[in-house]
Structure 1
Amino acid sequence: MLTEQHIDESENSAIVIGAGLGGLSAAMRLGAKGYRVQVFDRLDRTGGRGSSITQDGHRFDLGPTIVTVPQLYEDLWAACGRDFRKDVELRPVMPFYEIRWPDGTSFKASSDTEKMKAEVAKINPADVNGYEKFLRGSKARYKVGYEGLMTTPMHKLWETIKVLPQFVRLRADKSIYGYAKTCVKDEKLRMALSFHPLFIGGDPMNVTSMYALVGYLEKQFGVHYAMGGVQAIADAMANVVREQGGVIHQNAEVDEILVEGGAAKGVRLTSGETVACPLVVSNADAGHTYDHLLRNHSKRRWTSKRLKKSRWSMGLYVWYFGTKGTKGKWPDLGHHTIAAGPRYNGLLNDIFIKGKLADDMSLYIHRPSLTDPSVAPEGDDTFYVLSPVPHLGWDKSVDWQKEEPIYREKVATNLERLMPGFRDHIVTETVFTPETFRDRYLSPHGAGFSVEPRILQSAYFRPHNISEEAKGLFLVGAGTHPGAGVPGVVGSADVVSQLIPDAPSAADSTLPMAAE
């Protein structure tokens, strides 16, 4: 139960809905601006999709597994007068990941250009020059798409119009797969250079070629693992919020954002309790924010009709399991492995266009116990195996209650070629399906990454960080600008902090809204 001390109607107070990485980042930045912040989260641990569960001595990181831009965290901590490196230990992962195809071909990604060219040459020597072309294009797209847009507010159409000439020059209308196709001839290499949007819920056959920037981003910043998992980052964020004087309420779900006279007035919890506050930041999925949390308030832009017409990211099937006595077993299976299926284009078409659960699959295998002994008992391993699948919004959506054990067996069959006999060693396991994402994270259609990052669902065309629906309402997280993925989610809080003034010292200070 909330007590009177939690209720604050002053203009120095702020409410954050959701203790995911976006919500915690926003709470930190608001705390640094002098606000008294209260965070409300329905889960029992901070981190949202970046949280973890511990089962029979195995810690399963439920969502993101890597850190690609440490500078984002360093800047966030610095804004709060703190040192990120003192709170969180990062370790570089090398190679970043290995892609393996059914015919035995493999590709190891790293930041070393010469090693990358050797990996390309191993598959097709004639594509080395094309890879160099791709890398040059990746850098150009990074400069425009990441450095130029990542932390720039995009709620005004003019901000998007300004970059259109550069987007035209870089052929942003072409898909990332289409761009890779212009650079290299080998289909395996086209897959290796274009699959990255899947990490943020995008179809490589349809999302813009601007996402080629990931190749340069990885090269520039590397790929890191946070000791203790991403949960350790979330916990460190929560500690900063508390040290700033903020309060984090767990097992406290917000059911409605209260609006009066066109302005946010606070929130109502599922318990029925009301918390008054003139500044609300929602880290709930943008679709859930507008369709449920604002269900009693008429919308000008993000109506239910518009949300139904939106394209949503794919769903995820994730199998978490712990194995006993396997340390040192499967020595060629690294920290990150991508087991490519026999199809690329066809599988993506099944997932994103047809909404069909295919018999074949591509798998992302995470083995953190190679880097972090704390995830498993001594001598044991902890695994996370992910397969992209359709979301639940299709006319004939997958009945996961029926299909899950069947699909798990298909996943296991694919894993056997990389981890012979692994099932004999499993001692604990749990599975997340799109239904879990829908129920645990209140994700529309059980989508893994909110609104799909297509070009006409990005920047100005994505739900804005500052809401048009109510003064004092802001959005952070995967469903708003700049988009999904941990850098985008953390970056969204930076954008919001630019839009919210420092905590007012006078009663006549006002908060902006997008229409102004």
Structure 2
Amino acid sequence: MGIRLQSLGFDTTIVEKLDGPGGRAYVKHVDGFTFDMGPTVITVPHFIEELFSLERGKSNLHLPDFPLEVLGEDKRIREGISGGPQTSKYVQIVPILPFYRIYFDDGTFFDYDGDPENTRRQVAALGEPGDLEGYERFHADARAIFERGFLELGYTHFGDLGTMLRVIPDLLRLDAVRTLFSFASKYFKSPKLRQVFSFETLLVGGNPLSVPAIYAMIHFVEKTWGIHFALGGTGALVRAFVQKFEELGGIMRYNAEVGKINVVREGNKKIAKGITLADGTVLHADIVVSNADYANTYLKLIEPQYRFWQSDLVVKNRPQSMSLVVIYFGFRADGREGQKLRHHNIILGPRYEELLKDIFGRKVLARDFSQYLHIPTLTDPSLAPPGHHAAYTLIPVPHNGSKLDWDLLGEPFVNKVLQFLDERGYLPGLMERLVHKSFITPDYFEHTLNSYLGNAFGPEPILAQSAFFRPHNKSEDIANLYLVGAGVQPGAGTPSVMMSAKMTARLIAQDFGIGDRAIEAQHQAAPVGV
């Protein structure tokens, strides 16, 4: 968002609570290991290329969001087309194949790589009679959802009910309002294939049993542009964004937690005028853009008398996404890691639907679990000392509305997960080879990242919190206050967060009458990013 504000001609300061950039994408360096603490899956590389192409006073908001050259066929992935020329000046991004290796509890697996023939072979091998034909229908229907929901409507800010009402007939026609798991179950009899084609919403905080089938578009987002990795880790991409932001004249301030968004009344209007840091420092601004947790922004940073549409009652009653336990571990290599595992691995437990109900509905810590295991050193050995691997594994758990005591539960649960990887043969001998172990729980999300109830992805992406019904990128109550990021439209996940920034930038440009040709000469202000 800071890069886009600078390109609009604003003088922007980003204030960050932590001692370095990234927020959820913070990086941990310990014992010679580099651990990305948050996002590791990069999709839609042309979004990144667009950001690195921005110039001061040239926002490019009028250009097509999806130029024809980025809408190629699947061979683009197989041929390794990834970071563009502007991106490559700042960071090297490479494609990852397969996108994911998905392990089932019986030891069988599915390599999801976007190759249509390989996908069909695996569907035929794992599926039940009729599932291959079902895949062809799923593929066609997911494409239609992708073309309408992502390519055509992806950048639509649903700021009023009329905008939403105009697209409802299309959503009904595409059968995109039923739940994603129900949608997948129409096409596949095999429980394994139902899991393969519905699990991905867990990576953006969504329960496949309750997110709308519009999220079937994720299948085609990945299939169209692939899965990518920034050499040096996601932190290298974050540092590149900071470099670009500062080159455009932006200012970063670290160890600068926000205590309050300052609001004043001018007649009947309530207007954001800056922020007060936790240490009492006041920063004046013409615009405030909050990339903080949506609920925390309204409940903790804005006094109740300035809020009507986002009252405590409204904000607290929004269902929040699940939380996570993330384990960061370094271990001695034995040369066998790449035989069974890949860069991105999904290891599913013995239960699927019931485990999801435990996490999202019953909010209990189940005895079994599923996990996303990330081993970036299979691609980039520089992230660990010679002869070692750096890894993290991410386990969905209930948010802190569950009242689980993570001080008591955390260590035993973490050891149980690592022992599982060892004893089930994913990383044989791991416990003996382990040289570093650390972890975060929902308490980290709540108390360090200031996420309401320790949610990991903002409001849960159910139908009642999608499009118009998801928090808006422009405050309804306070002028010159905007929001951006996972908690607002369009939602969580790295591509959606980048789309959110462009949507919010367009709202600001519209409100301030900014056009590309007049930016530098006519519109200078001092927004603050929270």
Question: Does residue 468 of the first structure (1) align with residue 465 of the second (2)?
Answer: no
Give the letter for the 1:407 counterpart: F
What is the aligned counterpart of 1:222 among 205, 219, 226? 226
Q: Does residue 1:445 correspond to 2:453, yes or no?
A: yes
Aligned equivalent of 2:36, options 55, 61, 77: 61
**Map of 1:148 onto structure 2:** 152
| Whole-angstrom distance in 2 between the partners of 1:498 and 1:322 | 43
1:321-400 counterparts in 2 under 5 A?
321-329=329-337, 331-394=339-402, 397-400=403-406
Say if 2:304 and 2:312, in contact at 8 Å, map to a contact too.
no
Whichever residue aligns with residue 53 of structure 1, its letter is K
What is residue 98 of structure 2 aligned with on the other side? 95
Specify the alignment match of 1:12 in structure 2.
Answer: none
- Tell me the CA shift for residue 328 of structure 1: 4.1
Equivalent residue number for residue 302 of structure 1: 310
Rounded Cα–Cα distance in structure 2 between residues aligned with 1:176 and 1:329: 33
Residue identity opposite 1:93 in structure 2: I
Question: Matches of 1:496 and 1:286 in 2, distance apart?
Answer: 14
**Corresponding residue for 2:108?**
105
1:85 to 85, 88, 91: 88
- For 2:443 and 2:239, locate their aligned partners in 1 and report how far apart those are by CA, in whole Å: 26
Rounded to whole Å, the distance in 1 between the matches of 2:13 and 2:247 is: 13
Distance 1:150 1:85 in 2: 26
Structure 1 pair 459/439, CA: closer, same or farther in 2 (3 Å)? Answer: same
Displacement of 1:330 after TM fit?
5.6
Q: What amino acid sits opposite 1:427 in the alignment?
A: V
Give the C-alpha shift of residue 289 in structure 1: 0.7
**TM-fit CA distance, 1:499:** 0.9
Secondary structure of 2:51's counterpart equals helix
* 1:390, distance to aligned residue in structure 2 (A): 0.3
Structure 2 contact 287–526 (Cα < 8 Å) conserved: no
Q: CA deviation at 1:459?
A: 1.1
**Alpha carbons of 1:55 and 1:308: their partners in 2 closer, same or farther (altered >3 Å)?**
same
1:326–1:381 contact (8 Å) kept in structure 2: no
Does residue 457 of the first structure (1) align with residue 457 of the second (2)?
A: no
Where does 1:199-348 land on structure 2 (aligned, <5 Å)? 199-261=203-265, 262-329=270-337, 331-348=339-356
Q: Secondary structure at the match of 2:435?
A: strand
> What SS is found at the alignment partner of 1:500?
helix
- After superposition, what is the alpha-carbon deviation per residue over 1:237-287, rounded to whole angstroms, capped at 9, x for unaligned? 111111111110011111110011211110000010101111010000111
Deviates more, 1:500-509 or 1:232-241: 500-509
Q: Secondary structure at the match of 1:108?
A: strand
TM-score for both structures, normalised by structure 1:
0.91
Q: What's the C-alpha RMSD, in Å, of the aligned pairs?
A: 1.8
Determine the C-alpha separation between the residues in 1 that align with 2:237 and 2:414: 30
Question: How far apart, CA to CA, are the structure 1 residues paired with 2:293 and 2:250?
Answer: 22
CA distance in 1 between counterparts of 2:128 and 2:113 reads: 18
Indicate whether 1:130 and 2:105 are aligned: no
Does the alignment pair 1:52 with 2:33?
A: no
Q: Which amino acid counterpart does residue 100 of structure 2 have in structure 1?
A: Y
Deviation (angstroms), 1:92:
0.9
Structure 1, unpaired ranges of 5+: 1-25, 512-516
Deviations 1:407-447 (A, max 9, x none): 11321232121111101111112101000111121011111
**SS of residue in 1 equivalent to 2:133:** helix
The one-letter amino acid paired with 1:114 is E
Change (3 A) 1:277 1:118: same
Letter in 2 for 1:440: T
Gaps of 5+ in 2: 59-84
1:402-421 alignment runs, 5 A limit: 402-416=408-422, 417=424, 418-421=426-429
Shift of 1:509: 10
SS at match of 2:306: coil
Q: Do the aligned partners of 2:370 and 2:395 also contact (CA within 8 Å) in 1?
A: yes
Matching residue's letter, 2:96: V
Query: How many Å separate the matches in 1 of 2:430 and 2:420?
Result: 11
Contact kept in structure 2, 1:100 and 1:337, CA below 8 Å: yes
3-state SS in 2 of match to 1:326: coil
CA contact (8 A) 2:338 2:378 kept: no
Deviation of the 1:469 alpha carbon: 1.8
The Cα offsets for residues 459-507 of structure 1, whole Å up to 9 and x where unpaired, read as 1111111111211110001000010001111111100111112358569
Q: Secondary structure at the match of 1:393?
A: helix
CA contact (8 A) 2:128 2:189 kept: no
Q: Aligned AA for 2:259?
A: D
Give the secondary-structure state (helix, strand or coil) at the position aligned to 1:359: coil
User: Which amino acid is the alignment partner of residue 485 of structure 1?
Assistant: G
Q: CA deviation at 1:223?
A: 0.7
